Chain A
Amino acid sequence: MTEYILRRLLVTPVMVLGVTILVFVMYNLAPGDPVTAMIDPLEPTSSQVDREAMRERLGLNKPIHVRYLIWLRELLRGNLGYSQVDGHSVAERIAQTLPATLLLQATSLLLAILIGVALGLVSGLKQYSNLDHALSFFAFFGISVPNFFVAILLMYFLSVKLDWFPLAGMWTPGQSTGLNLDLLHHMVLPVLANVILSLAGYMRYTRASVLDALGADYVTTARSKGLPERWVIIRHVFRNALLPVVTLVGLSLPSLLGGSFILEQLFSWPGMGRLGYTALLARDYPVIMAVTLTSAVIVMLANLASDIAYGFVDPRVRYD
């Protein structure tokens, strides 16, 4: 196992490097640059000469590979650069926003797993019942509807109309910040929007696994040796049905992080997604690169953790 982890850890930087090259090239091939993005086409007040001078100052006139190598050199020195829009240290901005994203996504993920697995289990055990049909309908709704639409619905009904939850932000403006009840209250809507969409996957996977397990030989054996049905479900069906869910956790992270761009924007959640969204609009390359890099590292580490966890939960799996 240790050897496996080390091997994966050694491969990870190579994969991250590949991601950075791809992302850097793609962003730079896209039309425009931070300088044109700073100009309001409706009211352009800077001349071509001004724009060229600004490009020179920001180093945008250098060839793409030179710019990439400079970026990489600075990255290895621990410097993620400075925003080309507001001059702030990108590392500081990432450090400032990442905890908010992790808090939101980790909470959403945990709740989605808990609820999704529980509902999937019930759905599998009550196959073709009305409850199963209702849960399946809900699951397909969750899979089909985009997260921003669910978010808008939640905001409108649960906040604007019913006033149960705050509309946006992480804390009530002017109140104390930190890990407090106000924060939890503000988390409800964005977490709910995430959970509704994510739990559908867990529910369907668990349901399918439960149905598989119910027909497996070891379940038949357990029943034939006279084990009570409750224990059959808990000790044999449920435990085995959990296995695919572990894989799904690793796979669902990229979509959760991707979805955070829109969701954080809608809920004015001060996370890395919102930072990335505003950086994309402004073509703020250093920020975009840092957000992409951070997301890539998180996803890779999460996948690694997921693989390792699989080794723990499934006694049949051996990495040695």
Chain B
Amino acid sequence: MTRKEVSRRDFLRAAGLGAAGIAAAACIPAPQSAVPEPAQQTESMEAAGPVSGGTLTIAPGALSFTNFTPWKVRGTSHYRVFSPVVQALVRGQEWGDGLTPQTKEFKITPELAEKVDVEEPDRVWVFHLRQNVKWHDGRPFTADDVMWSWFAATHRDVARQSGGLPQIKGAMNLGENGGTMEDLTGAQKIDEYTVRLELEETDFDFISSPNTRMDITPKHVFEDVPLDKVVDHEPFAGMPIGTGPFKCTQLVADQFLAMERNDDYWGGKPLLDGIIFRFLDGNTAVAALEKGELDVGFTPDLASFQRLQEMDHLASATFPTPCYWAYYININRFPDTYHQLHQALLYGIDIDEYLAVTTGGLAVRDNYVFSHIGVGTLNQPPEGLTDYSFDPDKAQAILEEINWDFDRELEFSVEGEPTVGEETFQALAANMGLKLKFKVFHPSAFVPEVFDNLDFDIYSNVQGCSTALGHFWRIVKCGGTPDAGGINWNNYCNPELDEVYAAAMQEKDLDKRVELMKQVALLVDQNLNGAPFFRGVGRLIFNSRVQAIYPGTDYAKSVRVPHEKIWLKQT
């Protein structure tokens, strides 16, 4: 390049013209009609009762997802996006919405199976499939799709992404070594609309567990796809084809996923024209709710929630989650006094005050480990469970009994900066004379340092959100430590607890199983090195025009939101 080829004048002129062009274009305002008014979207309107029409805009609480297949579903926010599209044979409903009383039996919501015959309780089932179901691309749903879905969910090359369904007979081998459909001996196609499923062993959690990957995908989409490419197979991965009330129409990566009503939905025509999931930063979602650019936002921070719920055009709801907040004391450092220390904390910390500060009083004190599991009467605390109402004198007496050195500082291990909850806990502990000193770990170092190396005197976390009966056992089972492949991070061991828990997990009679589980709860209450002290509360903010969204709708991952019943009120 020389100056003779492009003169200085030419260069400057070209640059100036380009800049002026872009500047002029940017100044042209977009037509206001680009943002449809809610009222314009409504087809018909009645004075009361549901009307159809309109598009619901939801921020699912995630920045971005690029893969919506069941094999990659991670966490509640991912599930929110995925659930209007892909369905399961049945949905478990182990825990309630806080409003509906729990029934004695496991509550199963049928989806693609209209009837389930129990051949052997908690081990063998026969599913009778709905015969009028079509995939979003118009192809019929049959037993072949179910067989394919179970195969994919267990095969080594696919299941690695999802955890699979190792309980099915033959699945373990398929998961480790691969194989063909015939190797999954527990899955049988009886006819075009009937399938039989057999587990290797009795599993109480399997059929009802929301974590069970029973979601059904269309076999015809993957017929020519190598198994190791199934998970990321496009366009399915970005816009899955399902049988649900809404079908994907447009995915703009990192922006939104648009869905439209599935007029052929087996459960009846949905009321909404469509749903749009927007992937927004949390603070931006709050602003979008305030502006009315967003209809539904999940779990905004407490201050924003309290501010938004006062606004005329917004409504709010809270709902119990299956997650318990707990703290634990290091058994290795306090081998003889961990339980008394734990008891002193539960009596000495004003938990109601703690909850007022950290949750605005929305959450409630709860030290019963199974109250989130709606099996029989298991969600009701057993008689004899300690009532840890605020009692500083009792806390003081326990500490004196163990000759607690009040000059000692307890290392309170936290991830990143201490949260409001951790600071409040520290302040309330100080009121009872206990000194907690933060030991701050980088977020990525918290897991290896605290859980693997047990570098803490005390730490606080969510005990777990799983509603599986056996989940808590994984946390307390003797020998189930992280280095042995378990999640007993505290090296806790109580052989008596293990014995009762094992008996409970093998007991086939529901009432007897419930009684055994309550014994487990009492043993935990009497000996554990920590305990749950409150149950989490989810927060939901939505535009007042959104109807039939709550109550009766449960936003936890265990229950599918009936999107087809949501409707928009004309404003």
Contacts and interface: CB of A to CB of B under 8 A. Distances in A.
Interface residues of B, number: 75
B293 A181 contact: no
Given A166-B35, A175-B34, A160 B287 contact: yes
Interface residues of A, number: 72
Contact of B256 (A88, A173, A188): A173
Given A47-B485, A268-B281, A184 B30 contact: yes
A181 B66 CA distance: 26
Nearest to B274: A174
B342 to A, nearest CB: 20
B252 A268 contact: no
B1 A315 contact: no
Contacts of A50: 485
Contacts of B323: 43
Interface stretch (B86-94, B140-148, B362-370, B461-469): B461-469
B448 interface: yes
A268 B66 contact: no
Contact of B445 (A32, A111, A159, A313): A32
Contacts of B447: 36, 39, 41, 44, 51
Contacts of A175: 34
Interface stretch (B6-14, B149-157, B174-182, B312-320): B6-14
Do most interface residues of chain A lie in helix, strand or loop, or is the interface mixed? helix
B22 A173 contact: no
Contacts of B67: 86-88
A156 B258 CA distance: 26
Given A32-B442, A111-B23, A312-B3, A170 B483 contact: no
B408 interface: no
B19 A110 contact: yes
Given A43-B461, A49-B482, A114-B23, A267 B287 contact: no
Nearest to A277: B63
Interface in A155-181: 155-156, 159-160, 163, 166-175, 177, 181
A160 B12 CA distance: 40
Nearest to A85: B74
Interface in B445-466: 445-448, 450-452, 461-462, 464-466
B124 interface: no
Given A48-B483, A175-B34, A312-B6, A87 B231 contact: yes
Contacts of A215: none
Interface of A: 1-2, 5, 30-33, 36-37, 39, 41-51, 86-88, 96-97, 106-107, 110-111, 113-114, 152, 155-156, 159-160, 163, 166-175, 177, 181-182, 184-188, 191, 265-268, 270, 274-275, 278, 283, 308-309, 311-313, 315
16 contacts: A36-B447, A39-B447, A41-B415, A44-B461, A86-B65, A86-B72, A114-B19, A160-B290, A166-B35, A168-B288, A169-B278, A170-B252, A174-B256, A174-B276, A268-B284, A313-B8
